[in-house]
Amino acid sequence: MADVKSVLDVAALDFDQGLARLFDLVRIPSISTDPAHAGDCQEAAELVVEDLKAMGFEASVRPTPGRPMVVAHYTPKDASAKTPHLLFYGHYDVQPADPLDQWKTPPFEPTVKEDARGVMRMYGRGTADDKGQFMTFVEAARAWIAATGSLPIRATFLIEGEEESGSPSLIPFLKANSEELSCDAAFVCDTNMWDAKTPAITTRLRGLVHEEITITGPRIDLHSGMYGGPAMNPIRVLTKLIAALHDKSGRVTIPGFYDGVADLPKPTRKQWQSLKFSDKKFLGDVGLKAAAGEKGKSVLEQIWARPTAEVNGIWGGYTGAGTKTVLPSTAHAKLTFRLVGKQNPKKVLKAFQAFAKAHVPADCKITFSGRGGGSPATEIREDNPLITKAAKALKDEFRRDTVLMGSGGSIPICRSFKDILGMDSILVGFGLNDDAIHSPNEKYDLESFRRGIRSWIRIMGALAE
């Protein structure tokens, strides 16, 4: 613990310089989805590599068919076969800043401002997602090396440049470099705390399946006066199909949909109940009053541990101004299914397609996009020793128990680490729900950045013991 204290002291003295280094990175508009910013992505990758090399890492920019990867390795001089080898993952690319007219400060000129409650915040695209987040463990590593001359663990950094555009190069890169990148575990810093004072480790991520369907009835649009009644309306077929997806209790009715879904363990349910989460406030914040998911399941359980079937878009027929008395030839819908536990994405997709076909009458036909696909859920055992050590280190920093929480969303990289590299992912992040990631005026609290650095210092020390 003496080493940890000295490292924390060094980090405190270097905080302003660390903030300046982060700001240099935020100023680069590394928007991966826009080809016009390919050079900016290259510049961001090179800046990270230059910084890591200066700290003693063996670091390089690795080309891909898309945006480059950053790969860096550090091996302590006194490392042994028992020294933990951990991979730290983040991404330097960011979302586009549009709409620009809604930003109160320039998106690529980081600005520190105090809010009405006296909280100091940095504003700028990428401050929270994910430059500010992954720089917490870069700065933690810097403090360890500056204070003690070395990291206490073997470390590999993988900082990608396409996370915000679907990571098309990532899986081929992992497969091509699996031997080099395989470690004891991966730590991912791209998630949130429970609240501004309470740390969290995310242990559950839902998987995702997506599909788009088209119902076709008559070969052309029809006059509703001449054909209304005898002609089958594809919108009518589509809406009946959608309505049949759920029963009165909110359960999904697709046969076999719940295969692989386990009940929530009692200790986990008890911990979630202790969080004092307000279902009423959660829904009230978006203008709703009643939970629409499975009856008998709390809102947190519905979001973190239960699968869903949702319609994301529906269209067909005339949607312009005024009236057009038409029976459309086609109707369309986009759907997604969030998965949990051991649900198989391919089986869920196949089951939905069979379910949909069964609800289409003989005079209509249904076609699928052919682009349907997805990824399975990720769950890490809460008694994993790395989680236990990381949770204790976080508690030492925040003086509060670490929440082991779920996430309603998906982070496909975690599944790729498991399937390709054979290692679990431990998700420790310092974002907050109000960080406005992907939106105008994205921000990251200075305290999130400070406590993030301090937390990684403690986690690295704990994992080395």
Residue 333 to residue 113: CA distance in whole angstroms: 43
The reply to whether 279 falls in a domain is: no
pLDDT for residue 373: 79
Is pTM beyond 0.85? Reply is yes
- What integer pLDDT is reported at residue 2 of this predicted model? 60
255 and 396 co-located in one domain: no
Are residues 339 and 413 located together in one domain of the fold? no
| CATH number, domain containing residue 335 | 3.30.70.360
Whether 457 is covered by a domain: the verdict is yes
Task: Convert 274-307 to b/e letters by CB count within 10 Å (16 or more is b).
Answer: eeeeeeeeeeeeeeeeebebbeebbebbbbbbbb
State how many domains the chain has: 2
Residue 75 lies in a domain: yes
CATH number at 111 reads 3.40.630.10
Alpha-carbon dihedral sign for residues 236, 242, 244, 250: negative
Q: What's the pLDDT at 213?
A: 98
CA-closest candidate to residue 198, choices 118, 117, 282, 271: 271
Q: What is the pLDDT of residue 264?
A: 92
Please report, in tens digits, the pLDDT of each residue of the chain (465 residues total): 568 999 999 999 999 999 999 999 999 999 999 999 999 999 999 999 999 999 999 999 999 999 999 999 999 989 999 999 999 999 999 999 999 999 999 999 999 999 999 999 999 999 999 999 999 999 999 999 999 999 999 999 999 999 999 899 999 999 999 999 999 999 999 999 999 999 999 999 999 999 999 999 999 999 999 999 999 999 999 999 999 999 999 999 999 999 999 999 999 999 999 998 999 999 999 999 999 999 999 999 999 999 999 999 999 999 999 999 999 999 999 999 999 999 999 999 999 999 999 999 999 999 999 888 788 999 999 999 999 999 999 999 999 999 999 999 888 899 999 999 999 999 999 999 999 999 999 999 999 999 999 999 999 999 998
Same domain, 326 and 389: no
Q: Domain containing 196: what range?
A: 2-205+377-464
The region that residue 285 occupies, defined by phi over 0 for left and psi between -120 and 50 for alpha, beta otherwise, is alpha
- Do residues 65 and 192 share a domain? yes
Shared domain for 412 and 308, answered yes or no, is no
- Per the domain annotation, does 312 fall within a domain? yes
